[in-house]
């Protein structure tokens, strides 16, 4: 329509020129006719060609439809000075709708439709080929901008794998299949830039979702589960072959596109092989980016990272591999026995048995990870230091709690253990349960003695004194004991007390000694015949200063004929005539009787209070033993005996004779009291007349002060 309006305006202009030309010279008329005709031709759609001969106009070319044909002839008719118009125009058919169709398939692109001009044909030929473009007829009826719209449509079609483009007047329709949403989006973006007045409709499917190739594998140490999008023709199971992963499960899909780079399978295989080195983890591959994370042993971590180092440089590989841990908190149980600590539990990598100076038990588990905040390490070291202060014990420790139980040697060692626990990290309140081998209190022991049954110990012994030592000090067989043995070195007088008691124990029927650092108390009941007063004094002198001694004569006497073994002497005894007398263990005869009496006096001296005839506290043992020997010898052999009293040379002879006689008489009376027949005994005081040693020395004088027994088959004469 705009072309026809232009031609009408042109015709009016030419008419005006004719009026003007009538006033000019005729020679110039032909030129003006030619110019007017050329102007009309130039204004046509297809640029028709005009020629002027004389003043006749000849026009040839393509008229863009009947309307343009009529308008051109009208305009040429109006050229001033023309004589005739010769019409050689080819009138193009008006195509409605004006259309072009392009179809892309497996064999290429086919085209069907019309073009609005030769110029348009040439433009299209540059992209679809001259041959194909030449097969498209020129027609009239194209909207303004139609060629540009077609070019946009073809650009959009180029983004599709298969498709159908239809351009009809000012509307484009594009359908087909794009490889991915990316290409579909590009096609739609091109069609969004159509010339003004044009519209487009698209229906584009995609062969692939457009997401990059990917593989996501989670591995829990037992099985691997895969998801993702693999290249066309590649299965996850195939990629996992040789990786060492256990059965690969999951629903990894396959893309409809192939991996054009050829790198992707190799990337996936190396990634899966690296994942197999972990205890657990995850592998993510997207395009040419790889991310591996998880937990591994130190050896597995090295192997996994070595595999990733084999990836091509074009691959962006990131690995975050931490040392494997089962998630259980660090914990340690330790037992101290016989100086050795045996430990079990889960310990950080740096806390080896060597580092802790312990023996690893069967359930020792060395973690691969470290104690990052050092909390457990500090607790374990503090706990072990406390445990080492004990004699034996058990330690349970975590990063949050500590329990220590055991036996400390003394409170001092217990305090050392408590002090070691001061190094515990904040927030840990230790639970400590301790016994003591020695509770730190002063010793306080008790000895209970019975001549018939022996002795027992109770209480607490001083450091260094054992029940066995008590037995040896007292000269007794094994002493049963419930006493604890003290370990703290204290100023102890117990051994001195026991040594003193050992001197006089045979004189007691029962005795109880309470011995402590502060006091010694001895209470006892003596055997019959013991001089209680003298024994009390002698025992008091033997004991440490300040000891309390209470001795009484036993009133609980057995029936005659009762026998026992005296615990203090080891001798078998029989209760006769109110006394405990040793049983005769020999065959009486004239030869054996003197030997037995001499043996008794050699083992048990008969001693007296200085300057008197009073038997001292220890003489009862000798008197009892002599009574048994003499009774047997007198009764069975018919012997008689003389008891001789002897003194040292100190004092006058007369005084010594008197003293020795009194002493011999005292022994005779004691023997008679024990059942020895009086008629078979005589007593003679010899004074210092029969010395057996040098009276110039204390030792000699002590030897000379003695009692002797002389045996005879009949009573001795007065001579």
Question: Tokens for 661?
Answer: 């006689």
Confidence of residue 714 (pLDDT cuts 50, 70, 90): confident
- pLDDT tens figures, 406-434: 999 989 999 999 999 999 999 999 999 99
Q: Which pLDDT belongs to residue 168?
A: 96
- pLDDT tens figures, 302-327: 999 999 999 999 999 999 999 998 88
Provide the β-strand partners of residue 635: none
User: CA 575, CA 450: separation in Å to the nearest integer?
Assistant: 16
Nearby residues of 313 by Cβ (< 8 Å), 6 or more positions away: none
- pLDDT tens figures, 78-96: 999 899 999 999 999 999 9
User: CA 43, CA 14: separation in Å to the nearest integer?
Assistant: 13
**Do residues 526 and 554 make contact, with C-beta atoms less than 8 angstroms apart?**
yes
Q: Which of 637, 631, 628, 644 is nearest to 714 (CA)?
A: 637
Tell me the average pLDDT of the chain.
90
Q: Which pLDDT belongs to residue 242?
A: 66
- pLDDT tens figures, 531-547: 999 999 999 999 999 99
**Do residues 360 and 353 make contact, with C-beta atoms less than 8 angstroms apart?**
yes
Q: Which pLDDT belongs to residue 250?
A: 74
- pLDDT tens figures, 437-457: 888 888 999 999 999 999 999
Confidence of residue 11 (pLDDT cuts 50, 70, 90): very low
By DSSP bridging, strand 431-436 and strand 402-408 are: parallel
Residue 12 has pLDDT above 80, yes or no: no
Provide the β-strand partners of residue 684: 644
SS3 track for 373-397: CCHHHHHHHHHHHHHHCCCEEEEEE
Nearby residues of 573 by Cβ (< 8 Å), 6 or more positions away: 563, 564, 565, 566, 580, 581, 582, 583
Task: Please state the rounded mean pLDDT for residues 479-487.
Answer: 91
Confidence of residue 248 (pLDDT cuts 50, 70, 90): confident
**Do residues 246 and 195 make contact, with C-beta atoms less than 8 angstroms apart?**
no
Q: Which of 297, 358, 298 is nearest to 332 (CA)?
A: 358
Residue 344 has pLDDT above 90, yes or no: yes
Question: What phi and psi, each to the nearest 5 degrees, are found at residue 125?
Answer: -60, -30
**Do residues 142 and 116 make contact, with C-beta atoms less than 8 angstroms apart?**
yes
- pLDDT tens figures, 363-410: 999 999 999 999 999 999 999 999 999 999 999 999 999 999 999 998
Residue 3 has pLDDT above 60, yes or no: no
Q: Which pLDDT belongs to residue 440?
A: 85
Residue 599 has pLDDT above 50, yes or no: yes
Before 97, cis peptide (omega within 30)? yes
pTM over 0.75: no
Position with higher pLDDT, 236 vs 550:
550
Q: Which pLDDT belongs to residue 492?
A: 73
Q: Which pLDDT belongs to residue 244?
A: 77
Q: Which pLDDT belongs to residue 211?
A: 83
Question: Tokens for 567?
Answer: 């615990």
Task: Please state the rounded mean pLDDT for residues 674-682.
Answer: 96
| CB neighbours of residue 198 within 10 Å | 22
Nearby residues of 96 by Cβ (< 8 Å), 6 or more positions away: 141, 169
Residue 646 has pLDDT above 80, yes or no: yes
Q: Which pLDDT belongs to residue 25?
A: 56
Q: Which pLDDT belongs to residue 287?
A: 85
- pLDDT tens figures, 119-171: 899 999 998 999 999 999 999 999 999 999 999 999 999 999 999 999 999 99
Confidence of residue 210 (pLDDT cuts 50, 70, 90): confident
> Hey, which bits of 94-213 come out as E strands?
99-105, 108-113, 160-168, 171-178, 199-206
User: CA 265, CA 569: separation in Å to the nearest integer?
Assistant: 102
Residue 461 has pLDDT above 50, yes or no: yes
Could you tell me the domains of the chain? 2-91 (3.30.300), 99-206 (3.40.1520.20), 214-323 (3.40.1520.20), 331-436 (3.40.1520.20), 444-553 (3.40.1520), 584-712 (3.30.1330.60)
Indicate the DSSP class of residue 207. S
- pLDDT tens figures, 347-364: 999 999 999 999 999 999
Q: Which pLDDT belongs to residue 14?
A: 46
Kindly list the distances between the CA atom of residue 350 and the CA atoms of 377, 384, 424, 658, in Å, as whole numbers in the listed order: 9, 16, 18, 95
User: CA 694, CA 628: separation in Å to the nearest integer?
Assistant: 32
Position with higher pLDDT, 243 vs 63:
63
Residue 719 has pLDDT above 70, yes or no: no
User: CA 83, CA 59: separation in Å to the nearest integer?
Assistant: 14
Q: Which pLDDT belongs to residue 258?
A: 75
Q: Which pLDDT belongs to residue 1?
A: 42
**Do residues 478 and 453 make contact, with C-beta atoms less than 8 angstroms apart?**
no
Helix (H, G, I), strand (E, B) or coil at 463: coil
- H or E, element range at 343: strand 340-347
What percentage of the chain reaches a pLDDT higher than 70?
94
Confidence of residue 20 (pLDDT cuts 50, 70, 90): very low
By DSSP bridging, strand 508-516 and strand 484-485 are: unpaired
How far is CA 475 from its chain centroid? Answer: 58
Confidence of residue 7 (pLDDT cuts 50, 70, 90): very low
Residue 292 has pLDDT above 90, yes or no: yes
User: CA 607, CA 599: separation in Å to the nearest integer?
Assistant: 16
Task: Please state the rounded mean pLDDT for residues 600-617.
Answer: 93
């Amino acid at each position: 329509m705009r072309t026809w309006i232009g031609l009408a305006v042109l015709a009016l202009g030419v008419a005006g020129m004719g009026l003007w030309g009538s006033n000019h010279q005729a020679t110039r008329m032909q030129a003006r006719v030619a110019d007017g005709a050329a102007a009309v031709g130039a204004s046509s759609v297809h640029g028709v060609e005009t020629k002027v001969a004389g003043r006749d106009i000849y026009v040839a070319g393509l008229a863009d439809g009947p309307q343009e044909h009529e308008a051109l002839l009208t305009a040429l008719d109006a050229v001033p000075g023309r004589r005739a118009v010769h019409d050689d125009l080819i009138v193009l058919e008006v195509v409605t709708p004006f259309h072009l169709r392009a179809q892309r398939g497996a064999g290429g692109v086919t085209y069907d439709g019309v073009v609005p001009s030769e110029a348009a044909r040439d433009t299209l030929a540059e992209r679809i080929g001259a041959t194909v473009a030449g097969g498209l007829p020129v027609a009239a009826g194209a909207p303004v901008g139609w060629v540009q719209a077609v070019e946009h449509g073809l650009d959009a079609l180029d983004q599709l794998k298969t498709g159908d483009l239809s351009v009809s007047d000012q509307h484009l329709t594009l359908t087909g299949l794009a490889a991915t949403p990316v290409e579909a989006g590009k096609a739609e973006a091109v069609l969004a830039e159509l010339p003004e007045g044009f519209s487009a409709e698209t229906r584009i499917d995609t062969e692939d979702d457009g997401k990059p190739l990917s593989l996501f594998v989670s591995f829990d140490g037992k099985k691997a589960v895969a998801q993702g999008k693999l290249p066309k023709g590649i299965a996850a199971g195939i990629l996992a072959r040789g990786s060492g992963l256990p059965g690969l499960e999951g629903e990894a899909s396959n893309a409809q596109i192939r991996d054009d780079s050829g790198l992707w399978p190799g990337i996936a295989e190396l990634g899966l092989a690296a994942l197999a080195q972990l205890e657990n983890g995850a592998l993510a591959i997207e395009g040419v980016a790889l991310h591996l994370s998880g937990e591994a042993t130190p050896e597995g971590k090295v192997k996994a990272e070595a595999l990733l180092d084999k990836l091509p440089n074009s691959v962006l590989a990131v690995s975050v591999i931490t040392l494997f841990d089962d998630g259980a908190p660090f914990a340690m149980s330790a037992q101290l026995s016989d100086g050795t600590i045996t430990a079990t539990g889960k310990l950080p990598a740096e806390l080896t048995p060597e580092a802790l100076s312990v023996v690893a038990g069967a359930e020792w588990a060395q973690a691969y990870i470290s104690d990052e905040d050092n909390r457990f390490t500090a607790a374990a070291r503090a706990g072990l230091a406390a445990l080492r202060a004990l004699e034996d014990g058990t330690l349970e420790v975590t990063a949050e709690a500590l329990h220590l139980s055991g036996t400390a040697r003394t409170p001092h060692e217990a305090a050392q253990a408590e002090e070691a626990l001061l190094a515990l990290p904040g927030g840990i309140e230790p639970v400590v349960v301790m016994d003591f081998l020695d509770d730190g209190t002063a010793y306080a022991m008790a000895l209970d003695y019975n001549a018939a049954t022996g002795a027992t110990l109770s209480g607490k012994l001083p450091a260094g004194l054992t029940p066995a030592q008590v037995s040896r000090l007292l000269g007794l067989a094994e002493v049963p004991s419930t006493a604890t043995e003290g370990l703290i070195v204290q100023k102890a007088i117990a051994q001195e007390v026991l040594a003193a008691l050992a001197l006089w124990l045979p004189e007691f029927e029962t005795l109880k000694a309470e011995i402590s650092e502060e006091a010694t108390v001895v209470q006892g009941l003596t055997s019959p015949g013991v001089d209680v007063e003298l024994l009390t004094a002698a025992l008091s002198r033997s004991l440490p200063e300040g000891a309390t001694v209470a001795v009484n004569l036993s009133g609980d006497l057995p029936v005659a004929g009762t026998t026992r073994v005296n615990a203090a002497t080891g001798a078998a005894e029989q209760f006769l005539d109110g006394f405990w007398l040793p049983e005769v263990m020999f065959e009486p005869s004239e030869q054996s009787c003197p030997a037995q009496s001499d043996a008794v006096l050699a083992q048990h001296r008969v001693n007296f209070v200085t300057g008197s005839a009073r038997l001292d506290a220890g003489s009862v043992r000798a008197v009892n033993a002599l009574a048994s020997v003499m009774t047997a010898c007198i009764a069975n052999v018919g012997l008689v005996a003389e008891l001789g009293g002897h003194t040292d040379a100190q004092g006058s002879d007369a005084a010594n004779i008197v003293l020795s006689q009194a002493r011999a008489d005292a022994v005779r009376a004691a023997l008679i009291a024990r059942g020895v027949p009086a008629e078979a005994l005589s007593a003679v005081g010899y004074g210092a007349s029969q010395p057996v040693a040098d009276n110039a020395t204390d030792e000699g004088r002590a030897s000379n002060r003695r009692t002797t027994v002389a045996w005879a088959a009949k009573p001795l004469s007065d001579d």
